[in-house]
Amino acid sequence: MPRRLVIPEAVQLAIAKLLAVESWLRSGGAKGTLVVPARDYEIDIGAIVAAERELGGRFGDEMLAVFAADLSILGELYGMRPEVCAAHTAKGRAEGVPDSLIVVGNDRGRSFLCMSSAPLLGERPRLVIVTKDGASTRRELLASWLVDRIEEALDDLELSPLQLRHLNSDEVLEAFVPNIGGGARADLVKAGLRRVAHPKFGDGTVIREVLGGPEPKLEIDFDSGSRRVLLARFVAAP
């Protein structure tokens, strides 16, 4: 059965807003409100396993959520699709992108958009932007980068106060629930099932990331039957 992706709320909300804006722009702004299209946001496990095998790395849940959204804004402008990441990465390596990164997009020929090839549990997802000649690198929170894309999409358009309130409502956030599905359980493990181990509580599965506080926390469903919220640094891969 599908596995819900474990992503920070800020990333989930930014993707949901982009979905709503994209849908509104496609309608010519005639709907009056910005809504997230009602559909299953599920990415097939086979595509991910194949892409990760080519890359020699893995995607974090945050990037899988971007793929599950299947946004035209990101696919057409930046090539953010799993099936072309291997080609992006090969080009990036030739331009000096380090092996610790995989290239998930191309900023219109100006720079490579990269993510860690081995994302850590509880780590705030950051996009690493490397210029085409490899001369400079900067890091940006993925959620912030996505918010900038929303602003670009709405450039020169004026939304009413009602539309802006709806775009920031809980309903928009709750309408986007990304999953990974298809294949057997073994494939889910290959695709990054969030399993962790704790010295006292044993092995468990990450349910969600808990926001707030100076350090990232994880809610974990332990195999022993208990469910606890712990600092991410207190657990490791089993």
Residue 142 pLDDT: 96
Q: Which two tokens stand for residue 149?
A: 């894309």
Whether the pLDDT of residue 56 is over 90: the answer is no
How far apart CA 72 and CA 126 sit, in angstroms, is 21
Give residue 72's pLDDT band: very low, low, confident or very high (50, 70, 90). very high
* Residue 128 CA from chain centroid, whole number: 14
Whether the pLDDT of residue 83 is over 70: the answer is yes
Section 55-66 average pLDDT: 90
Section 94-116 average pLDDT: 93
The percentage of the chain sitting over the pLDDT mark of 90, rounded to a whole number, equals 42
Section 99-121 average pLDDT: 90
Give residue 168's pLDDT band: very low, low, confident or very high (50, 70, 90). confident
Q: Which residue intervals of 95-215 are DSSP H helices?
A: 142-153, 161-167, 170-175, 185-190
One-letter amino acid at 98 equals P
Distances (CA, A) of 211 to 8, 178, 227: 7, 18, 17
How far apart CA 117 and CA 140 sit, in angstroms, is 16
Whether the pLDDT of residue 193 is over 70: the answer is no
Residue 30 pLDDT: 64
* Residue 66 CA from chain centroid, whole number: 5
pTM of the model: 0.79
Q: What SS3 state is found at 131?
A: strand
Whether the pLDDT of residue 106 is over 60: the answer is yes
Q: Using one digit for the tens of pLDDT, what is the confidence trace for 169-180?
A: 888 999 999 988
Section 120-134 average pLDDT: 83
Q: What one-character-per-residue DSSP string does 35-86 give?
A: ----S-EEEEHHHHHHHHHHHTS---HHHHHHHHHT-HHHHHHH---GGGHH
CB 34 within 8 A of CB 166: yes
Residue 223 pLDDT: 87
Section 119-129 average pLDDT: 82
Whether the pLDDT of residue 183 is over 90: the answer is no
Q: Which two tokens stand for residue 171?
A: 């309903």
Residue 179 pLDDT: 87
Q: What SS3 state is found at 18?
A: helix
Q: Which two tokens stand for residue 123?
A: 């780590």
Burial of 132 (0-12, 13-18, 19+ CB in 10 A): middle
Backbone angles phi, psi at 81, to 5 degrees: -135, 140
How far apart CA 35 and CA 31 sit, in angstroms, is 9
- Would you give the end-to-end CA distance of the chain in angstroms? 23
